[in-house]
Chains A and B, each alone.
Chain A
């Protein structure tokens, strides 16, 4: 395959001073650099949020532990949840979408490069603002620094009377600011996908990652915005004396719950749809077969997007809604399982009969398949309203959603790292360290989150800072903590791999995996202009067509 780089004879490229290089990164509007910035900022916050999780686990290691005070414990789980959802997971999936979508559709850049940069800096600075609460959160009240109201900030905890000082304001403003960033990026992704495709890249020929990014962006538009609206209301309550969530003046605390979860549940799908996207690209390449059931995959994704906007109140079965509401939300919750099941069957059917290569990206994807299935099953358990009355607010719920987010989304993200790192840097990640990373993380993950279900079933509530001995929780919690540290070691191996391979990894070349989508047709890392000649595509696998002119997909298109 010929490289598309334009070479100018006699051109001299000198190494720029590092200040220049830094300036270039800070002022860049290139989607590839912004994608990498998104990913780096997500990694930074992943480490911070991970350290918070480790402190939480040390505190819960045995009964009556005094590692941190109850106040600090409240701040830790609030900051851990907020950080991981908004500044790790969201940022990470936006980073990959930013990097990959234009490359996969043969575009020069996103539709609005400057909006792209603006959105990134809003998201990143929102994260920094959240952490500034450690400095300014106590205000003049001496009221405690970081927010400690939980990542839902249920009313009336978020009200002035119960949350004096500025800690909750930092939380509100950080989410509002990063929310605007998310909306900007979502608009950008939609405009890019619909308006920037290269000739021949019909909607029905787009790689699934592009389709799923489009659905994800559409969901961001209608689900992040309710959170922004609710945050504006909270600010009105806190600063202008409003009464939206003030029960003393007739306001409703339950309304906040509804508004929060109208955002909060679809948010899970905003995060998991990009994970589905990674699987849909990686599994075919390492099974050496095209994806099974492309139209069904697209249809399932769109219907997940639609149905998931009507399931939110399954987070609120214990609030005391009427039986019609309970039944409705139980049924819709079960219904989401159907399109999700279709996707899982399609991935398995893609692998079926394929020549599967167990490289590290594929290992993480296979891990995803098993773990996401179990996470979905425990989700169905809690979707049954009567059973949820028993499980709600217990460690079973914590185990369930960590199974989704860590066992599902994070595994897929790791797979994506191993798969696209060669494209982004030009170097392969070490397979040996990668296998260490995979197996250590797998063992740590299962030790932590399989075991965590049991104290939940035994009645251990979430968000408690300590517990009495003799309830049968001690050994289980110790195992959970040990698993958390094994995961932390695996993350260290991963970070070491990222750094070592950047300098010493094997040269990747254009197309190390013998893949079929357009990003592999150009150099690694791609030149600033992406494609020297605008590509033209005639099928879903343009690179297959190029490599196999005797049997192109376009013949069957």
Chain B
């Protein structure tokens, strides 16, 4: 219903709802992570028994590089799709999944070492509780991201992802960048400040 017959210019453009929603989700998730980070920092050095972070933690440099570079590859992948280079998109996308998978493998190996060599579990002491919760929350988000990336990969290999899906791929890339950015915070808190 046109209330006043003012012809509207064709320039009525609004932001893409997918991006706005993902930004909202990222804000909400950031608040959740903030609470876990605060709990981690609050309890640094307050464990009543060992093992302590200094004794058992080793900074996972290689796997961190894997995860951070996956942010780079997914960005390139999204750009390639936008320009219609589907083969480049496909290979960069798969590379992203491999890098993310490597990171997850790294977390798994670290947990295995901590549990079997140092006897550190989530119920051992405050360090165990906060460490497994924070790193685990992040690993859960990586896993969720990898599942979504894998779904896109299946569609890509089936030839169903084209330029028209580019905005959606951008939304997923936003999530993946967020997961990487959170890792920068978690890494700083757990492996640098918390030791």
Name A residues whose Cβ lies closer than 8 Å to a Cβ of B. 4, 111-112, 183, 186-188, 190-192, 194-197, 199-200, 217-218, 221-226, 228-230, 232-233, 236-237, 240-244, 249-252, 255, 259, 262, 521-522, 531-533, 535-538, 542-543, 545-546, 549, 552, 554
- Does any Cβ of A come within 8 Å of B36's Cβ? yes
Cβ-defined contact, B29 with A244, below 8 A: no
Instruction: Say yes or no: A546-B4 contact (C-beta < 8 A), given A241-B123, A252-B42.
Output: yes
Residues of chain A within 8 A of B151, CB atoms compared: none
From B16, B20, B29, B31, name the one whose CB has the most chain A CB atoms within 10 angstroms: B31
Residues of B within 8 A of A (CB): 1-4, 6, 8, 12, 14-17, 20-21, 24-25, 27-29, 31-32, 34-36, 39, 42-43, 46-48, 122-123, 125-126, 129-130, 133, 137
- B48–A249 touching, CB < 8 Å: yes
Known contacts A186-B28, A192-B17, A533-B2; 19 further A-B pairs (Cβ under 8 A): A4-B1, A186-B24, A187-B25, A190-B20, A190-B24, A194-B15, A195-B16, A197-B14, A221-B28, A221-B31, A225-B29, A225-B31, A236-B133, A244-B39, A250-B126, A536-B4, A538-B3, A538-B4, A554-B4
Residues of B within 8 A of A255 (CB): 39, 42
Shortest distance between the CB of B185 and any CB in chain A (Å): 15
Decide if B27 touches A196 in the complex (CB within 8 Å): no
- CB of B12 within 8 A of CB of A199, answer yes
Neighbouring B residues of A230 by C-beta, 8 Å: 35
- In Å, the complex CA distance between A194 and B31 comes to 22
Chain B CB within 10 Å, residue with most, of A194, A196, A243, A521? A243
Provide the residues of chain A in CB contact with B47, threshold 8 Å: 249-250
Secondary structure class of chain A's binding surface, majority of residues: helix
Contact of A187 among B24, B32, B36, B126 (CB under 8 A): B24
For A237, give the chain B residue with the smallest CB separation: B129
* Shortest distance from the beta carbon of A302 to any chain B beta carbon, whole Å: 15
Contact B14 A236 (CB under 8 A): no
Question: Which 6 residue pairs across A and B have the least CB separation, nearest first?
Answer: A241-B123, A229-B35, A225-B31, A187-B24, A195-B17, A242-B129
Q: Give chain B residues whose Cβ lies under 8 Å from the Cβ of A186.
A: 24, 28
A190, A199, A546: the one contacting B21 at CB < 8 Å is A190
Q: How far is the CA of A535 from the CA of B35 in the complex (A)?
A: 44
Residue on B nearest A262 in the bound complex, by CB: B35
Cα separation A188 to B16 with both chains bound (whole Å): 13
Question: Which residue of B has the minimal Cβ distance to A230?
Answer: B35
- B28 & A536 in contact (Cβ 8 Å cutoff): no
State how many angstroms separate the Cβ of A71 from the closest Cβ of chain B.
Answer: 30
Chain A contacts for B8, CB-based, 8 A: 199-200, 536
- A4 and B8 CA atoms in complex are apart in Å by 21
Residues in A neighbouring B43, C-beta threshold 8 A: 250-252
Complexed CA–CA distance, A521 and B3 (Å) = 10
Q: Which of A196, A531, A536 has the most CB of B within 10 A?
A: A536
- Cβ-defined contact, B17 with A112, below 8 A: yes
In the complex, residue of chain B having the shortest beta-carbon distance to the beta carbon of A252: B42
Cβ contact of A236, chosen from B1, B12, B42, B122, cutoff 8 A: B122
Tell me which residues across on chain B come within 8 A of A241, comparing CB atoms: 122-123
B2-A536 in contact (CB<8A):
yes
A255-B122 Cα distance, complex, nearest whole Å: 19
Q: In the complex, A112→B133 CA distance in Å?
A: 31
Q: Give complex CA distance A499, B4 in Å.
A: 39
Residue of B nearest to A226 (CB): B35
Nearest Cβ distance between residue A156 and chain B, in whole angstroms? 15
Chain A residues near B126: list those with CB within 8 A.
Answer: 243, 249-251
